[in-house]
Amino acid sequence: MGIVNVTPDSFSDGGLFLDANVAIAHGLELFEQGAQILDIGGESTRPGAQPVGEREELRRVLPVIEGLASALATVDDRPRISIDTSKAAVARAALAAGAELVNDVSALRGDPEMASVVADADAECCLMHMLGEPRTMQREGGPRYGDVVDDVKSFLAQRLELAVDAGIDARRILLDPGIGFGKTPAHNLTLLRRLDELTTLGPPLVIGTSRKTFLGRIAAGAGGAREPLAADARLPGTIATNVMALERGASVFRVHDVAPVAAALAVAAATLGGKWTARSKTS
């Protein structure tokens, strides 16, 4: 899953792809690198991010989704387009414009109409765990859990059941433990270490560690530095966590750097016995 942020304030690439044509070109480049899903987002969910109005979010994402859908319409084995939103109106318009998957970080809690929008469109959806909301999830004092894996698993099981009861096909649901969303570095590492415990829920697991701050802190600490490495220096940590997540049962990897992560996953899968099923560029 290649990330296309059409935002001015995302932590890693905010402002780089605000122009629709630039964002479309970036999405096509990620597809050429091996992305099977292009995740388009118009509202940052970084810690402390401020909400974006529905009209502005639509203004940002619709031209990109329409442009990508048009450019890829005749391409064999084209990627699915995902809309990263918690607003039902944005999801509805994005699905009409060519998106096929709704990536909802609120797990259908942000908008009471979202479940019906997904169900009526027979779309795919990704349900993610988040403690709190982007503005507050990493405030001083830190998030607290009894057992982070048990708590996340229970939450995802409940949201999965709610989604199916709302008419969403269970075969079209993905689950995301929400690495970095209302979690300390220790929580993130525990979830990655015990990710296999979430596979018993059934749906494919999405992992999103790409360029996140806890990776920069770990790498900096290993080198004796106090400040975390910059976002664009966190690729080694991104690769390491995605390879480990593959071994523990994840099957969708949401990343900024598609080509190097895809290559690492291919090698890891060959070592593990062929679990990785990335699209072949020659197929």
d(CA 6, CA 59): 10
H or E element, residue 81: strand 80-84
d(CA 52, CA 176): 23
Which candidate in 87, 183, 212, 248 is catalytic?
212
Length of the chain: 283
Residue 262 CB: number of other CB atoms within 10 A?
Answer: 20
d(CA 202, CA 51): 32
Amino acid at the residue 100 = E
Active site residue 212: yes
d(CA 257, CA 236): 11
Residues 6+ apart with CB under 8 A from 55: none
Residues 6+ apart with CB under 8 A from 73: none
Note whether 40 and 27 are within 8 A (CB). yes
Helix axis angle for 88-97 and 114-121, nearest 10°, is: 20
d(CA 99, CA 121): 10
Residues taking part in catalysis? 212, 254
